[in-house]
Chains A and B, each alone.
Chain A
Amino acid sequence: MDEREIRDLVDDVEAGRLTRRAFTQMMVALGLTAPMAAQMLAGAGVARAQTKPTFNPTKRGGGGQLRVLWWQSPTLLNPHFATGTKDQDGSRVFYEPLAAFDPDGNVVPVLAERVPSGENGDLAKDGTSVVWRLKKGVQWHDGKPFTADDVVFNWEYSADPATATVTIGSYKELQRVEKVDSHTVKVVFKKPNPFWYDAFCGNRGQLIPKHLFEAYKGGKSREAPNNVKPVGTGPYRFVDFKPGDIVRAEINPSYHVPNRPFFDQFEMKGGGDAVSAARAVLQTGEYDYAWNIQVEDEILKRLEQSGRGRVEIWPSGNPEHVQCNQTDPWKEVDGERSSVKVPHPILTEAAVRKALNVLVDRAAVQEQIYGRQGQTSANFLNAPPRYQSKNTTWEFNIDKANQILDQAGWKRGPDGIRAKDGKKLKFVFQTSINAPRQKTQAIVKQACAKAGIDLELKSVVASVFFSSDPANPDTYRHFYTDLQMYTTTMGAPDPQLFMEQFTSWRIASKENKWSGNNVTRFRNEEYDTLWRGAENEVDAAKRAAMFIRMNDIVIQNVVVIPVLWRNGVGAAAKALRGMDLSGWDSTLWHLAYWYKA
């Protein structure tokens, strides 16, 4: 399906010949995400489906306490410094963006009066600017009004390199943010920007008050007392915070949505592990909600039988995948291993990567370990099963792997391990410590052994593996092993930032203190050009075709081996409702609407 055909389909939806749902399904079958399909329709001016709450209370509060469990807990509560989901979620209790992303990837107004679009004239036709109209009558928790000045300030604050925010990527490319009047701002982009709903939206768009943070813009940013004492606009206001342990909040009596929220107190408890978190909700009922329970499905099903809670599953764009290191992790050059100056002696050989690609038994991993929590996948960019995809397929075939390796001249030694030119086919394969991942490792290792590849398994505790500490050689971004496996989170319903992780300028290295997110150290000119093109391509159909090609480049070169297209998974108490969990935004994006039946 090419650009023209996609365009015709969009016209069909517009004319009512094709339903939104049917269109979305077709796009997903092409290897696109549902949210992208939604954006393509939005780009063409086709009205979006809005999610409407089904519970309409007549008064605020009265719901008692809401107790949630985050087994990794927040360490600070400023969204601009949030490293990882835990801090973003902690901040989201108090802070809100102009707009959020619902489960279908639609942009839903929160602090904005309405969502900009071409039709209402807020979104410039050439994609170079967008006007946000702010909701009137919104107050910060300390009673001060929320105005356009606050929005402009958040851009100044985050885009200032001296402030050293983690959200800078979303704000530094903005030409300027202007205050039009007290409740209208205009965002002007340097170049046409199809991903205009990045700044001020979702997790990276949480807004902090100007009057409390103004004095701490720039180098003193980390000293702001309000980094741990949030004052936001959200449904709950701050009571108490112990980093790494607990966040306490109470109802905001002047919340800007009438008759919300439902609960009088809110408590977010940290610590423990995924299994005990699941137990505390599903089996013992001590908590109302548990976040990210990556636990074998078999165990979850048995816990659910206690009848106190249910497992919530929702689609996301996150692939669990195995990465092939393009550089040599065992040779140190200029104080770093896995340096781009030394290509990997074995993994750069296409035949070896091709053999590995058919040695990952994705069906067994999905059926035996993850169950409802994911689908097998041939694609990195949120792809469907192979029979639905046009360009990519996957298979598990040990004979084929043997054949490929035989042809490439890798001969079995007396110990059963293949070798060529004195190099043995031996790899170190690392991942974080988590029972489902160790089982996946075991499954891959066994298949590799049958093909004459010896894998040494390594597991690193999650807090180290996912840390951003430049001094620790065991982090996933150092990637000091041949292979590794984890899940990359797709944080927004747009693949632009997500796909940047294979561009040559994002390579993790000593120079950038391993902050680059191109962990595989893959370099490909065509890919770079496509990515840059997509960045400023306003035509949604053309842009979609570009991302499909980018995905194909990564998959056909076996830079990564997708294992599973994962779903979001949480545990909720039986009576808890209204979460409307979204794979594109924080778990707490809809917190104001949570209630108990």
Chain B
Amino acid sequence: MANISVTATLPLGARRAGDSLWQEAWRRFRRHRLAMLGACVLLFMVVAVLSGPLAYRVPIDEIDFRAKLETPSWAHPLGTDDLGQDLLARMLYGGRISLAVGVAAMLIAIVIGTAIGAISGHLGGPMDHALMRITDLFLSLPQLPLLLLIIYLFRDVLKDVFGPEIGVFVLIVAVIGGLRWMPVARLVRAQFLSLREKEFVEAARSLGAPTMRQIVRHILPNTFGPVIVAGTIDVAAAIIAESSLSFLGLGFPPDIPTWGRILFDAKDNLDFAPHWALFPGAAIFLTVLSINYIGDGLRDALDPRKVLGQS
């Protein structure tokens, strides 16, 4: 089937001889305009939070009551909060944490979810049963009490090992990631159940491909679509979960301005200092939206059954 489509699209100049599959995917991804836009926005954000604090050297915690709740100006490009602290500096600093938490938690969720879903879907039988019941168990766990428990048990230990900021980061990423893999596992398992009966997998099996190769080379790439979409949703959820943890006093120390924390601080002032909430809100919104579009583009680009030119 892939051959047919390639032949059919050859006149469009899509795939030239010698191009690898990845080059092919990149070519397809580039055609997805929104995905490219999303990638640019995300890249801009990443570059900004990584190099921004080096170029924009205003301290994040300089309190100046004469400049409190100022709207954007040259001195404070994104305005100030009610302690007169510069919002741009805080957003650049907090963005590192928010983005890192989001991406790291998403990776954990996807790795665990895919592994469990793949084993469960491919092996079937008692193993499938056991793993799916574990998944159900995790789904039925009340998340907030569990979070409280884990944080009370391990916070101090991790703080001693890694220091207050990194320790909390590790903990939050593990907790958020560890509690969000279940939907991914279910998606992957469902894909495996249908894919392992497909002709190309049977063909591989009859050619004597070992189980591992069947899973990794033949089935897994075909499950990427839904997994990537689920992953992009997880990034957004992790950023938001981090802010609600900060809200409960269990996240980062209150003076570390993650985007969620800035938003939380700003909410009571929304009616008269909207800029304070708008910028971090827009940052979270843009990040989540661009990651979603990138996911969309990736799914199209990586889908082996996708017919080019119809995207």
Contacts and interface: CB of A to CB of B under 8 A. Distances in A.
Nearest to B84: A368
Contact of B255 (A299, A302, A433, A442): A442
A457 B272 contact: no
Interface stretch (A49-57, A182-190, A458-466, A508-516): A458-466
A364 B65 contact: yes
B269 interface: yes
Contacts of A456: 164, 253
Contacts of B265: 435, 438
Interface residues of A, number: 27
Looking at B62, B152, B249, B253, the one whose CB has the most chain A CB atoms below 10 A away is B249
A449 B83 CA distance: 16
Interface of B is mostly: loop
A302 B254 contact: no
How extensive is the interface on chain B, given as a class?
A: 20 to 34
A295 interface: yes
Interface in A443-462: 443, 445-446, 449, 456-461
A530 interface: no
A368 B65 contact: yes
A119 interface: no
Nearest to A295: B268
Contact of B272 (A302, A441, A459, A461): A302
Interface in B242-286: 247-249, 253-255, 265, 268-269, 271-272
16 contacts: A295-B268, A299-B268, A368-B83, A433-B248, A433-B254, A435-B265, A435-B268, A438-B255, A442-B61, A442-B63, A442-B254, A446-B62, A458-B253, A460-B249, A461-B248, A473-B152
B82 interface: yes
Interface string A459-488: 111000000000001100000000000000
Nearest to B252: A457
A441 B254 contact: yes
Contacts of B61: 442, 445-446, 449
A367 B83 CA distance: 12
A571 to B, nearest CB: 14
Interface string B99-128: 000000000000000000000000000000
Interface of A is mostly: helix
Contact of B68 (A368, A449, A457): A368
Looking at B82, B164, B248, B254, the one whose CB has the most chain A CB atoms below 10 A away is B254
Ranked nearest first, the 3 interchain pairs of A and B with the lowest CB-CB distance are A459-B249, A459-B254, A457-B253
Given A457-B253, A460-B249, A443 B83 contact: yes
Contacts of B254: 433, 438, 441-442, 457-459
Contacts of A173: none
A432 to B, nearest CB: 8
Contacts of B255: 438, 441-442, 445, 457
B249 A296 contact: no
Contacts of B249: 433, 458-461
A275 interface: yes
A298 interface: yes
Interface string B141-156: 0000000000010000
Contacts of A458: 249, 253-254
Nearest to A274: B268
Given A295-B268, A299-B268, A299-B269, A439 B83 contact: yes
A441 B248 CA distance: 17
A279 to B, nearest CB: 9
Contacts of B272: 302
Contacts of A367: 65
Given A275-B268, A302-B272, A445-B255, A439 B82 contact: yes
A441 B255 CA distance: 8
Contacts of B253: 456-459
Interface in A514-560: none
A295 B269 CA distance: 11
Given A457-B255, A460-B249, A296 B63 contact: no
B250 to A, nearest CB: 8
A442 B254 CA distance: 9
B166 to A, nearest CB: 13
A364 B272 CA distance: 22
Contacts of A473: 152
Interface string A354-382: 00000000001001100000000000000
Contacts of A368: 65, 68, 82-83
Contacts of B271: 302
Nearest to B164: A456
Given A296-B268, A439-B83, A445-B255, 11 more contacts: A433-B249, A435-B268, A438-B265, A441-B254, A441-B255, A442-B83, A446-B61, A446-B63, A458-B254, A459-B249, A459-B254
A364 B84 CA distance: 12
